[in-house]
Every structure is written in C-alpha cells, then in structure tokens.
Structure 1
Amino acid sequence: LQYCCYLSRRLNQLSSHDPLWKRHCKKYWLISEEEKSQRNQSWKAIFISTYSDLGRYIRYYATLKKAWDDLEKYLGQRCPRMIGSLKESVREEDLDAVEAQIGCKLPDDYRCSFRIHNGQKLVVPGLMGSMALSNHYRSEDLLDIDTAAGGFQQRLGLKQCLPLTFCIHTGLSQYMALESVEGRNKYEIFYQCPDQMARNPSAIDMFITGTSYLEWFTSYVNKVVTGGYPIIRDQIFRYVHDKECVATTGDITVSVSTSFLPELSSVHPPHYFFTYRIRIEMSKDALPEKACQLDSRYWRITNAKGDVEEVQGPGVVGEFPIISPGRVYEYTSCTTFSTTSGYMEGYYTFHCLYYKDKFFNVTIPRFHMVCPTFKVSTARMVSRDVVVLMLDFSPPILLFSKNAWINFNRTVYCVETLISHHFSVFILFLKITFLSEPFLKKPAPHLSVLATIAYLRSST
C-alpha cells in the first residue's frame, strides 16, 4: 500500500484510505479497536509506527504475541502468582548489545519474543513447567536475556549454545544452538545429557525439544492453554495425557498421564526415566454401598525389546486409598527402561467396605512411554588418523568407496578420502574417524587383505 502511493494521485488517495490499513494492523500486530481508540491515531499511522519498531519481526510477531496473550489469560485465572514473575519487554539496543557480548546472532523469533516479555524472574514456580517426585523436584524458569547471555557456553560439548531455561533445584537447562557445530542444527533446542561412558568430558548427548524457538515456545503454550498439561498446586506440571488411556471397570475409572525426566536419564548408558500420574475416580452416581478400598496392585512392564517384568505388591506408594462415590484419588510413581520406549498395564485389587469378603479387580489401561528424539555427541568420534594401506594387487582394483565402513583389527573406520595411483603397488589413503561398533546400523565389513599398515597421526 505504501509503495502504491507513489504511482499516481488516485492510488495515493486510495493507499491513504484508513480501512485498508485496519486489516494489516489486526493481522500483523493484533491491534484491537480498543487499543486504537486509546492511541488516538489512524490505522495507517499505527501500522507505520509499529512497523518502524518491530518490522523485522513481521513474520513472527502475531504468532508469538497471541501465544503470550493466551498464556497470560490462562495463567491469570489459574496461576496468578506466576504472572507476577514475568518481566517487561527489552529494547532493540539491548538485544544488539547481547549479540555483541556473546559474538553470535540471535534468531529473529527469539528476539521477537523478548520484545514482548523478557523472560521471568528466577522464582518458583517456573513458567516452563514443573515435575515432582517424592525426593525430586524440577521447575524451569524462562531466563531473561541478561541471565541467558551470562550462561552462554563456549566450552567443548556445548559450544555456542545459549540457555533458555534454568531450574534452581537441579541446575537443568534447555539450550539453543546458535551455530551448526558439534553435530547440532542451528537454532535446535535440547536438554544436555552427559555421556557417562566416555572419558572425554565434552561428550554430551542431547535430548531434542524443539527445532526453533517459535516452534518450541508456541507448542508448549498450546499444550498449557488447551489443558494438555495439568495445573497442580498453582504450577504447570508437564504430564502428557493420552485421551484414549482410560479404562472403566464398573463405577471406577482409571486414567494415566506420563512424563519423561531428562535430568534423571542418559543415553550412555541407556537409562530412560519416566514418571506417571494415575487418577482413580468413582462415579458420583454410584451407590454408597459401592465404596471400596484398594488392597494391591499388579503391573506388567514391557520394554521395546519385548522383555516383560511383572510386579505385584500391597497398596500404592505405601497407601491403601478408600474410593467412594464422587471421590478422586491421584498418586505419582516412576519407572525406568533400558530401551527408548516401553509400556505398562495391569490392575488393582479392591475389597468392598460393605461386603468385606467381596474382592474385584480394576483394570489399569496400557500406557506408553517414549523418550524424545536424541542426538549422540560427536565427541565419541574422538580420533582422526591417516591410514596408509599398501596392497599388493596388480592391476589395481578399487576396494572401497567414499563413506564406506571398514572393520580392521576390531576398529571401525569411515572412509572419507580415497585416492588411487595406478602402479603395481596399489595405495589407499583413508582419512578415518574412529567409531564404536554399536553406532553402526549393521556390522562393518572386515578388511582381510595382505597389507602393510602405517598409522600417521594427523594434526586434526
């Protein structure tokens, strides 16, 4: 519209027609009629002034502003204390100063979000969700820009990574990669997970939580405001509930929600920690004589390999709850798998309070637990050598191709460079990377030829 005004007098008049600018103000800047009346400006003036301030974020602003508005409205009704921890927006020059401080560019969607709210104060509960067990508690704050810049990482394993969240109880953070280094994609968001089997302290695996700040933040907000995450004791708890994970036996309904705990999990060794929250409810329309008490539980636990473990014991978490019409009982417990996924199912045994010799089982629906996508640390690829193989073949023949795997003396190599010279003695130059056998999807072919091997350590 602005460019049209330079073409002719008529177009100049049309481009100044205020209702044409109203649509753009609402679409890109979410300006309401009420806000316009408070500003006492035309729609065109509002659009131009807003664009001069936030124009670089026009692709992201409406989406992020709506997410923040929805979150504030939802929490204002359910967690008003959390709203008070949010910080006011920052200025462009503040974001530019942080970029100069850390020596990296911040993505525009991240900058845009902080033009709306500068994260939150380091308080509990954290805006980005909580999790609690009997002896463990996590609550993640959304870091303000200065605190995030202070935690910017340059060390090996987390090079050029910016913390987005922080838990003051566990020290856990979610990081955003500002460059494509150490096997990470640019702007990827992840939980760090130290490799406990590697001698190299820079060996850090990653549980991926987002591919960009926009996707990471808006998907989280959507789960919160649609009730995907429950509000418990004025906190957002990151339990995921599958609506099909519900079973009803008579008047009793059992439903389950689950959560993955990255801070208690590891890829090396494979140890994946999950917590689950179970809700047991008796219909309010049930007869009073249907009241009963839980006696025992039975679990059938199956991992991704099909291995089955059966567990039976009295009560649940040391309690024997009484269930009566309209009453709800909830409890939290946990389990671990050596595989990336698994499921549990089983039943509770109850006895009737009015007919004490009457026992019955209540089905626990099958519920699945799956860890997030993860990436293995590139630090496991620890040594780079040049191997010279002098093979006595005449005429020379090509044995390997680029990116092929070979297994020589129980060591696996990746062929990165291959050069052949047409002499009676065939010479292969292999620039190799050491890898451990478990990382290969299939065994590497063994190299079994008469050869003279010379290992030449390269400078890299």
Structure 2
Amino acid sequence: MAAACLLELPDELIIKILDYLDMQCLVRCVACTCQRLNQLSNSENIWKKLSVLYWLDTERTHSSDSWKENFFAWHKKWGKYMGCYVKVKSAWNRIEKALEERSPGTRTSLRGPVEQSELDTIETMMGCPLPLELACSYLIHNGQDVVPGKGCLLGNLEVYDHHSMEVAVPLAFNVKNVLPKIGILALSWCPYTNYGQVVCVNEKPGLPIGCVYYLTQVRRQKFAGYFVVASSYVEWLEKLATRLEDPELIVDSSKITRFYHEPTCVAVTRDVKVTVATSFVPCLSHIWKNNKMRTLFAYQISMTMDENVPPVGSCKLLSRHWEITDSSGQYHEVNGEAVIGLYPVMKPGAKFSYCSWTPLDSDGGFMEGHFTFVNLKTGENFDVICPRFHFKCPEISLSSSDVDDEQYGSEEDIDDEDDEY
C-alpha cells in the first residue's frame, strides 16, 4: 500500500525523496522491477549529487554520457576506499593548493600514484593489508622526489651546524628496510639525521593502528616512549594541510621551514620590533626509562626597524638575557654577550634574524627576556623586550618495554641551554 501511495506522487516529488537515499539504497531502486521507479532513480541530478558527495567530482570527469556512468566509473577504481576517499583527497587538495601558493617547487616534487604491485609487495611483507586510508593516500601521491633546491614537504630546520629536512618518502623506501616487518611504515625521513615519522600498520609496535609518531633510529624495536603526532593517518594528513595553509608557518624563499610564529609573540621597543618562531627538534629529543626525558626546541628571533624611523634611532646589540621555565616549574636564567657571536646593528630598514635552541627536561615550557642595545648617537643603553614564547612537544606515549640507555644515548648527548656562540 505504501508503495502504491509513493507512486501516486508526481515525478518531481519522488525524485526529491530519492535524493535523500544513500548510494546503496539508490542502487536497489535502479534494480527495482517497477519501471517508473527505475527510470526516476536514474535522474542525472541524483547521480551528480552522489558524484560530488563521494568523489568530489563536479566536472563529470569519467563520462561524457551521464552522471550515473560517471559515478560508477569512479566506483570501479575507488569503491574500496569509499569510506575514506573524500577525507584523504580533500586533505591532499588543500596541501596541493597551499604548496602552489607558497612553495611551487615542493608542489612539483610530489609524485603521482603508486603502482598496485608496490602495494601488494608491502602487504606481503607485513602479512596484512594496509589501512584503507593509507593505501588510498598512496594511490593519490606516493611521496615526493628529492630535488635539490625544491624543498621538502615536512620542512627544513637549520640551527648552527645542524641541518634536517623531512621528505615525504615513497612506498618503495619501506620495501628496502625492516620497518614493515615490525609493523610500521615510514611517512617521512631525513637523509641527514636518519629520523622521521612513521605510521603503525599493525599492533606490533604497541600503539593503535594508524597512529603516527617520530622514530629516530631504524634499528630500534623497543622504545622508552614515543612522540605521537596524530592518532590516525587521516588526522596526520589533515594536520599537515592545516599547517601548510597557516600564514604563521615560516616559508623562506619558497622553502618550507619547521618554524612556526606565535601570532601574539610580537614586541616593539624603541622602534626595534622582535618576533619569535619556534620548532620542536625530534631527532635530538629523547625519552629514557623512568619517565625521564630531554626535549630540544629551536627558536628563530627576528628583529626589524621600520625604514621611516629617524637615523638617530640606530642602535647596536650588546648582550642578551633569558628567563627559561619548563612545564615542571624549573626556572633558570642565562646571560651573555652578543647573539651567536654577532652584534647586529639596527638602523632604519634593517632586518636581522638568528636561530638557536634550548633543551628542557620536560615536555615544554616558555622563554622570555630582553636584548641590551646601545644607541649609536647618544651612547645610551636600553633593553629591547623579547616577548614570551612557548615550547610544546607532541603528545608523549610511554612504553612499558624495558630499554637500555645505550639504545638511546645518554642524557649528556645534548649540551646545556643557550648554545649561542
């Protein structure tokens, strides 16, 4: 009786009702023996909506004949990933757009899709299928090519003689090492420091499948703890997209850095403007047993003087004063001449920046202070305020496994705070 009442409605209303059905229900209507319902369920508007909803396709990419054929052409290739395709593809679309605007060289370094044979090889090595969202992502972009001068997707960091660059690695990188056999795949890697981010693909590492964290040495199979970046691969990819879109991420000459500027971290004293950007340094941060840790944070101090300032405002930096407090409440001060051995002169239009770092015995903290300058005309000394800036490492997940300190090095591996020279 209900069916009879439905069929008594005008075509326009039936199509509106069908428009609320999901794909599975609509396919059943297409297969329906009722000729009228079968015809109405083939409405172009319905299948256009589904093509946009499931495949983000607004152009009828795969068929010039009908939106229904277009939908099923997509489904033939991507149907296995229907539950995650939109989130994964949307994140990659955002990443591509951000790179085109901010780092074109990095955008051109992104590889195309992986071959199915490579996916099969990795799954054979692991003895289990890849998480669907991860396999879907590889079928969109399979890491990036390392091209000199083109930049890297996860960012560069240069402090003193330390240089790290996180490259998004192709799936083949994992075929050549032991990672799949211990339940993880590398997402990024640094050729200089041999560290990177990995994703759990089974439960062997002791973390949830899909969890992304930093791995600092390939050979380590037991861990005192992990720096967890995301609880799932999709979350990691979306965080990457958000980071690349954020104007506060420092991009220097189209090269992505790992420095992020706190929007409120700005101070102006006597026409000298100071801003600060910070970055966690995972490859030089350690977690030992008994919950002891040493985390390292880099910071970039930038100073500018507006070109319209009268020349009488010109000044020269003499010394620095820092006050450092970690998240456990430990406090200490640092005083010293110059910054990294330099005495920059600030005059109208001048710009100066430098990088340093500080280790902490906790998961974060904050730092603030001032620089003492001398006015080049009057000889007056005055302090230029450096606003408070914060440090925070990724979430820490401690392991119950016993770990020998030799596997991780000793706590003396990192020098004391304020390595400026």
Aligned residue for 2:27?
A: 2
2:41 aligned to 15, 24, 34, which one? 15
Higher relative contact order (CA 8 A, sep 6+): 2
C-alpha RMSD of matched pairs (Å): 2.4
Task: Go from structure 1 to structure 2 and tell me whether the alpha carbon gap of 1:134 and 1:240 turns closer, same or farther (over 3 Å shift).
Answer: same
Moved more, 99-108 or 118-127: 118-127
Aligned residue for 1:220?
A: 240
1:104-148 CA-to-partner distances (Å, cap 9, x unmatched) read: 221111111111111112445322222111111111111212222
Q: Which amino acid aligns with 2:29?
A: C
Question: Alignment identity in percent?
Answer: 32
SS at match of 2:267: strand
1:195-246 CA-to-partner distances (Å, cap 9, x unmatched) read: xxxxx97345311111111111111121112224211243211122221222
1:105 aligned to 118, 129, 132, which one? 129
Task: Go from structure 1 to structure 2 and tell me whether the alpha carbon gap of 1:123 and 1:351 turns closer, same or farther (over 3 Å shift).
Answer: same
Aligned residue for 1:287?
A: 310
Aligned residue for 2:88?
A: 64
2:295 aligned to 255, 266, 272, which one? 272
Separation in 2, partners of 1:368, 1:164: 27
Aligned residue for 2:156?
A: 130
Aligned residue for 1:30?
A: 56
Instruction: Confirm or deny that 1:360 pairs with 2:387.
Output: no
Instruction: Confirm or deny that 1:173 pairs with 2:193.
Output: no
Question: What is the CA distance between 1:348 and its match in structure 2?
Answer: 1.1
Aligned residue for 2:100?
A: 76
Question: What is the CA distance between 1:303 and its match in structure 2?
Answer: 2.3
Asked if the contact 1:78/1:231 (under 8 Å) is kept, the reply is yes
Separation in 2, partners of 1:29, 1:284: 51
Give the gaps of 5 or more residues in structure 2.
1-25, 405-421
Separation in 1, partners of 2:192, 2:398: 26
Question: What is the CA distance between 1:39 and its match in structure 2?
Answer: 5.0
Asked if the contact 1:192/1:204 (under 8 Å) is kept, the reply is no
Task: Go from structure 1 to structure 2 and tell me whether the alpha carbon gap of 1:117 and 1:126 turns closer, same or farther (over 3 Å shift).
Answer: same
SS at match of 1:50: helix
Moved more, 280-289 or 360-369: 280-289
Aligned residues: 371
Give the gaps of 5 or more residues in structure 1.
195-199, 383-460
SS at match of 1:298: strand
Q: Which amino acid aligns with 1:173?
A: G
Question: What is the CA distance between 1:277 and its match in structure 2?
Answer: 0.8
Separation in 1, partners of 2:308, 2:55: 50
SS at match of 1:2: helix
Bigger Rg, structure 1 or 2: 1
Q: How does 1:175-194 map to 2 (within 5 A)?
A: 175-192=198-215
- Structure richer in helix, relative to its length: 2
Question: What is the CA distance between 1:284 and its match in structure 2?
Answer: 4.1
Q: With structure 1 as the length reference, what TM-score do the two structures score?
A: 0.75
Q: With structure 2 as the length reference, what TM-score do the two structures score?
A: 0.81
1:147-170 CA-to-partner distances (Å, cap 9, x unmatched) read: 223334367xxx312222111111
Question: What is the CA distance between 1:193 and its match in structure 2?
Answer: 5.1
Aligned residue for 2:395?
A: 373
Aligned residue for 2:369?
A: 346
Question: What is the CA distance between 1:45 and its match in structure 2?
Answer: 1.3
Separation in 2, partners of 1:182, 1:6: 46
Separation in 1, partners of 2:50, 2:304: 50
Separation in 2, partners of 1:288, 1:21: 68
